[in-house]
A and B are shown apart, each in its own frame.
Chain A
Amino acid sequence: MSSRPVLEVLNLSVEFPTDRGPLRAVDGVSFSVEAGKTLAVVGESGCGKSVTALAIMGLLPPGARLGGAVRLLGEELVGQPGAAWQGRRGRDLAMVFQEPMTSLNPAFTAGEQVAEALRLHEGLSPRAAMDRAVEMLALVRIPDAARRARQYPHQLSGGMRQRVMIAMALACRPRLLIADEPTTALDVTVQAQILALLDELKRDTGTAVVLITHDLGVVADHADQVVVMYAGRIAEAAPAAELFERPEHPYTVGLIGAVPSIEGGATRLASIEGTVPDLRDPPPGCRFAPRCPFAGTDCETPPPLGEVHAGHLSACWRAPLGEGSPLPEPYPPGRDPARTGASQAA
């Protein structure tokens, strides 16, 4: 398991110039993914997940300032001319976007759009590329793929379109697939099918997957490693099972509490009080402090991301939270982190 990671992200930072000063959307993020594994990046909306993904793809909007390192199979991409990155995209590096309804070009058929990548990267003839495109569409379980290949996006359902996106992304068997909330826009059954499909394709092709989501339920079922992001920084990073068993950051604890839980037939969605801070003017110390029930004066100094257990990192002065947690009952009843998923009083 000590093979060289497919992707290494080191101290990544992204800054956007805005009318009201610079906005640092990603600040010192590091992680790596190995072949055939899934790394989940979780966090609330606005935490910098998509910006991280676009930075890895080299698709940040013009004007964005990128710092740190992005290494694909050991090769550094940051600082290289745009053409180097472009040559990797679609071939080694692929992405499925959050918006299946708008991510396909309405002017071309599904088949044409999948075939395009094959013609570009594998030099296939139009005929051969189309044949392969149909195979790919069948592979992602689009029924009657040959007919669907001739259809335009508006003739396909959302789930179908996302399958086309996945077929397109996987057509050239990339080494890394970034899936940015691939199922958020889809209904629950389709969501489960798409995620299962991603797992299966990952197993068969050995592709490394970065799965971005704000849904911890998805993480539990599909990820090997998890990175929890908060306000542009990593709050916690751990193997998936470990993270759920023993979360070591109050934000993660809150997120786990915010997973919908069924009790007595009713579904209740708990959530963390407050909102993500304005990244133009973040809190000076720990960025989670304004919302953190454990916060103290020491939290005015930013906590470093340190190893709490082997392979388990947390950026919190209180970590490890453990049994002897300094503050009892930090969350209201029913959201006690230590007993997540256990029977809870309403």
Chain B
Amino acid sequence: MGLWLLRRIGQILPTLLILSFLIFGLQQLMPGDPALILAGEERGDPQVLAQIRAELFLDRPLWEQYLRWISRVVVGDFGFSWRIREPVGALILEKLPVTFQLAGMAFLIAVLIGVPAGIVSAVKRDRPVDWATNGVALFGISTPNFWLGIMMILLFSVELGWLPPSGYVPLTEDPLQSLATTIMPAFVLGSGIAGVLMRHTRAAMLTALAQDYVRTARAKGLAERVVVAKHALRNALIPVVTLGTIEFGRLLAGAVLTEQIFTIPGFGKLIVDAVFNRDYPVVQGVVLATALIFVLLSLVADLLYMAINPRLRTA
């Protein structure tokens, strides 16, 4: 198991290296010359353009640009934003917690709704509760986030005036206000995942409830509540946990759009702005950081899977 973990971690570095290649290469396909955009008003002056290119090494061959970038990255230096003139590392560290708060809350909402709903609908299979739950889940999955977001803003902010329509207050500044600014986007983001989790929990529970060991549990005289919540759920959670981790990754991606709707200054806004501004160091940094998060998440998924699956733990 220790060896497995080491090997697994050993895979992370090459994965990230290949990704860094891809990021760098694909970025060259983006239309528009960064020097032109950075020059702004003076974009007509060839001398200014040449100077910008020289400063940013844009006049050097691609492989040299890449090496300059990656050699710094490996020691933790992501360079400076061309646009905002701030270290990319600092920008990432500033925006990441915002997105993590949003995604974390969304995930919590998704789990709190999706898993119990899945259990109930499996236990009450083919009965009205099951149909209703499935209907709501389908609604959650198929509703576009932007539409749901706008509807919620219209209802809770414009119509009722309960919640701020946009903006963000950090948790450390004013926790209550922070929750008020993030609850709507978190719900929007979490609703789709809740639907997905519900369906998977339902399917996994139906499978588990049909197993012989559930009959054994009943034969022991356990209350049905215990049979469901202990014997069936424990097994049903094994696939659900793995899926949940993958969905958390998807959530981070979904946050990009949701942050735009609710103008939350998180990771999503950072990368969208950077792409529009051709702020390459920021784009590269953010994408690489995201990739790292994904890789770590899949590691966490594997570890969790192992933790709850005795077959793997004791193999």
Binding stretch for chain B, among A13-21, A38-46, A99-107: A99-107
Residues in chain A near residue B211, CB distance under 8 A:
102
Q: Establish whether residues A106 and B219, one from each chain, have CB atoms under 8 Å apart when the complex forms.
A: no
Q: Establish whether residues B212 and A102, one from each chain, have CB atoms under 8 Å apart when the complex forms.
A: yes
**CB of A276 to closest CB in B, whole Å:** 23
Q: Is B21 an interface residue (CB 8 A)?
A: no
Q: Establish whether residues B234 and A107, one from each chain, have CB atoms under 8 Å apart when the complex forms.
A: yes
Q: Is A128 an interface residue (CB 8 A)?
A: no
**CB of A135 to closest CB in B, whole Å:** 18
Q: Is A57 an interface residue (CB 8 A)?
A: yes
Q: Which residue of A lies closest to B237 (CB)?
A: A107
Q: Is B218 an interface residue (CB 8 A)?
A: yes
Q: Is A246 an interface residue (CB 8 A)?
A: no
Q: Binary interface profile of A, 79-113, with partner B (CB < 8 Å = 1, else 0)? A: 00000001111110011010100111111110001
Residues in chain B near residue A88, CB distance under 8 A:
221
Residues in chain A near residue B234, CB distance under 8 A:
105, 107-108
Distance in angstroms between the alpha carbons of A88 and B219 in the assembled complex: 9
Q: Which residue of B lies closest to A116 (CB)?
A: B220
Chain B interface main SS type: helix
Q: Binary interface profile of B, 213-225, with partner A (CB < 8 Å = 1, else 0)? A: 1011111111110
Distance in angstroms between the alpha carbons of A113 and B310 in the assembled complex: 14
Residues in chain B near residue A103, CB distance under 8 A:
212-213, 215-216
Q: Which residue of A lies closest to B215 (CB)?
A: A59
Q: Is B278 an interface residue (CB 8 A)?
A: no
**CB of A186 to closest CB in B, whole Å:** 16
Q: Is A165 an interface residue (CB 8 A)?
A: yes
**CB of B315 to closest CB in A, whole Å:** 9
Q: Establish whether residues B216 and A104, one from each chain, have CB atoms under 8 Å apart when the complex forms.
A: yes
Distance in angstroms between the alpha carbons of A151 and B315 in the assembled complex: 11
Residues in chain B near residue A90, CB distance under 8 A:
219-222
Q: Establish whether residues A89 and B219, one from each chain, have CB atoms under 8 Å apart when the complex forms.
A: yes
Q: Is A69 an interface residue (CB 8 A)?
A: no
Q: A116-B220, A117-B221 are in contact. Are A154 and B212 (CB under 8 A)?
A: no
- New contact pairs (12) apart from A90-B219, A107-B308, CB-CB < 8 Å: A59-B215, A86-B224, A88-B221, A97-B219, A102-B211, A103-B216, A104-B216, A105-B213, A105-B216, A105-B234, A152-B310, A155-B314
29 A-B pairs with CB atoms under 8 Å apart are A59-B215, A59-B218, A59-B219, A86-B223, A86-B224, A90-B219, A91-B221, A97-B212, A97-B215, A97-B216, A102-B211, A102-B213, A103-B215, A104-B213, A106-B213, A106-B311, A107-B234, A107-B308, A107-B309, A108-B234, A120-B220, A120-B221, A121-B221, A151-B314, A152-B310, A152-B311, A154-B311, A154-B314, A168-B216
